[in-house]
Amino acid sequence: MIAQESIGGPPAWVPEIITYAVPAFVILIVSEMLIVKATKKGEYSAVDSAASLSMGLGNQVAKVLVGGLAVAAYFLVYQFRLFNLGWTWPVLVACFFAEDLAYYWMHRISHERRWFWASHVVHHSSQHYNLTTALRQTWTGVLGLSFIFWLPLVLIGFPPEMVLMFSAFSLVYQFWIHTELIHRMGPFEWVFNTPSHHRVHHATNARYLDANYAGVLIIWDRMFGTFVPEDDEEKPRYGIISNLGTFNPFRVAFHEWVGIWRDVTHAKSLRDALGYLFGPPGWSPDGSRKTSRSIKQQWAAHQAAATPAE
Amino acid sequence: MKDWVILGASAVVVAFMVAVAALLGFRTRVRIDQRELERLLALSEPGARIAESACADDGAAALARLTDGKFAVAKTMGDRVTLRLHAPAQVALALERGGVRATFADLGFPVLHMKLENPPRWLAEVAAGGGGNA
């Protein structure tokens, strides 16, 4: 048995990762604004950025108010852990990959199931794509139970502080990929999430819908069949299928939850109610609304009709 | 207490960044005309056909009734336009002084006050009839 050298426990700075990254966020955002102004590459809108940054601020308020619930859940489940995994280098490496895999599935299900989409839709609701979009974050992530996707990690035995540390690293990593200023990054794109991969993720073009769910590593999308490369012939159109008609942060934060409430309370059966809650975004009993699948099917049929027969 | 101090400082930083964006001139407003309405509709709903349409006098909005009975509503959002399709039951139209008021059954799309000094007949008829029950 190989002796595993312990690093002694969680670093003292673990809980402050995002706070320490904020000055860099500000510098990068202002820098991006200046570059966009000078080069006309990329786009900014003051009112859209105001909405995005307000959502980010509200996200931090929500974390102060209810973030402890998620942390408490981690520690509660950790009591029943299957293995005692300490702060050793092999465990840290394993946790990095496990956390990123958990993020991929959380992110994918947040696009495929309306309950989780109701929180995540906020991040996609901007029709712009720049570094302020990265900070456009949900207010309802904790109350919407998005944290449950990481509970298996603490159940396995990864220390909650370690999981939280890598979650914070992942969020900080994903900040810089929200830009149109970086085109491609060569072999880096084979393994890591990049601006190009993430532009596809934020696009509403039928070709790009529901793809590239990566946090740090794009390998999960390649592995699970959700990878779509950016096509220079088709510029991404950003936003959501039913784009919002408001910059009001409260409407942005809660519009999908209100939509769910309306649908569930008017549902004609329990099956329909559950469909509205846990079916794909856009699901309806009569198929009258659009889901990602129906949009892609319609697009594929349109492409086939437009292609001359050989 | 420390958290609230950090949040207060964050709010100041947010205001600073928005001010920089405004000072750099990122305040473009687009206008919607018939051509833009048709372009957006072609992108979002290939194959959809406009039966009747009306563009706001200030270019801030447009409304169209499609051949399948749905309504297409376009609204400027800064330098972007949001186009949404609504079933007739999801939108309520009413005439008001200087234009048309459109109310939607979606918290993400607030009431739209469309400036139209002379609404076209089709729109006036739909609005007079309530135009839906949102």
- A7 band by pLDDT with thresholds 50, 70 and 90: low
At A16 the pLDDT is 73
- A79 band by pLDDT with thresholds 50, 70 and 90: very high
Tell me: pLDDT of B133 over 50: no
Place of tokens 């601020």: A57
Size of interface A-B (CB pairs under 8 A): 118
- Is B7 in contact with A127 (Cβ distance < 8 A)? no
Q: Is A107 in contact with A28 (CB distance < 8 Å)?
A: no
Give how far B11 is from chain A: nearest CA, Å.
Answer: 7
Please report the DSSP string for B10-72 in residue order.
HHHHHHHHHHHHHHTT--------HHHHHHHHHHHSTT--EEEEEE-TTSSEEEEEETTS-EE
- A1 band by pLDDT with thresholds 50, 70 and 90: very low
Considering only A32-41, A204-213, A259-268, B36-45, which range has the smallest mean pLDDT?
Answer: B36-45
**Between β-strands B50-55 and B80-86, what pairing exists: parallel, antiparallel or unpaired?**
unpaired
At B6 the pLDDT is 87
Give how far B29 is from chain A: nearest CA, Å.
Answer: 9
- Is B21 in contact with A50 (Cβ distance < 8 A)? yes
Tell me: pLDDT of A4 over 70: no
More reliable by pLDDT, B33 or B133: B33
Please report the DSSP string for chain A in residue order.
-----B--S--TTGGGHHHHHHHHHHHHHHHHHHHHHHH--S---HHHHHHHHHHHHHHHHHHHHHHHHHHHHHHHHHTT-SS---SBHHHHHHHHHHHHHHHHHHHHHHHHSHHHHHHHHHHH--S--SHHHHT---S-TTTTTGGGGGHHHHHHT--HHHHHHHHHHHHHHHHTTS-SS----TTHHHHB--HHHHHHHHB-SGGGTT----SSBTHHHHHHT------TTS---BS-SS--S---HHHHHHHHHHHHHHHHHT-SSHHHHHHHHHS-TT--TTS-S--HHHHHHHHHHHHHHHSPP-
Q: Is A176 in contact with A188 (CB distance < 8 Å)?
A: no
At B41 the pLDDT is 92
Of the candidates A237, A246, A298, the beta carbon closest to that of B108 is on: A246
On average, the pLDDT of chain A sits at: 93
With residue B108 as reference, give the H or E element that holds it: none
pLDDT mean over A214-221: 98
Q: Is A135 in contact with A53 (CB distance < 8 Å)?
A: yes
Which pLDDT tens digit goes with each residue over A128-164? 999 999 999 999 999 999 999 999 999 999 999 999 9
Residue B18 forms contact with A (CB below 8 Å): yes
At A12 the pLDDT is 56
At A14 the pLDDT is 57
pLDDT mean over A206-225: 97
Give how far A296 is from chain B: nearest CA, Å.
Answer: 12
Give, as one character, the DSSP assignment of residue B97. T
At A267 the pLDDT is 96
Considering only A95-104, A191-200, A218-227, B6-15, which range has the smallest mean pLDDT?
Answer: B6-15
At B47 the pLDDT is 82
At A3 the pLDDT is 40
Tell me: pLDDT of A167 over 60: yes
At B134 the pLDDT is 45
Of the candidates B7, B24, B109, the beta carbon closest to that of A60 is on: B7
- Is B20 in contact with A33 (Cβ distance < 8 A)? yes
pLDDT mean over A228-253: 96
- pTM of structure: 0.92
At B128 the pLDDT is 77
- A2 band by pLDDT with thresholds 50, 70 and 90: very low
B84 neighbourhood in chain A, CB within 8 Å: 242-243, 245
- Is B17 in contact with A45 (Cβ distance < 8 A)? no
Tell me: pLDDT of A220 over 70: yes
B73 neighbourhood in chain A, CB within 8 Å: 245
Which pLDDT tens digit goes with each residue over B39-91? 999 988 878 899 999 999 999 999 999 999 999 999 999 999 999 998 888 88
- Is A244 in contact with B13 (Cβ distance < 8 A)? no
Give, as one character, the DSSP assignment of residue B90. G
Of the candidates B7, B14, B112, the beta carbon closest to that of A64 is on: B7
At residue A263, φ and ψ (nearest 5 deg) are -65, -45
Give how far A224 is from chain B: nearest CA, Å.
Answer: 28
Considering only A163-172, B1-10, B103-112, which range has the smallest mean pLDDT?
Answer: B1-10
Which pLDDT tens digit goes with each residue over B27-52? 888 999 999 999 999 988 878 899 99
A31 neighbourhood in chain B, CB within 8 Å: none
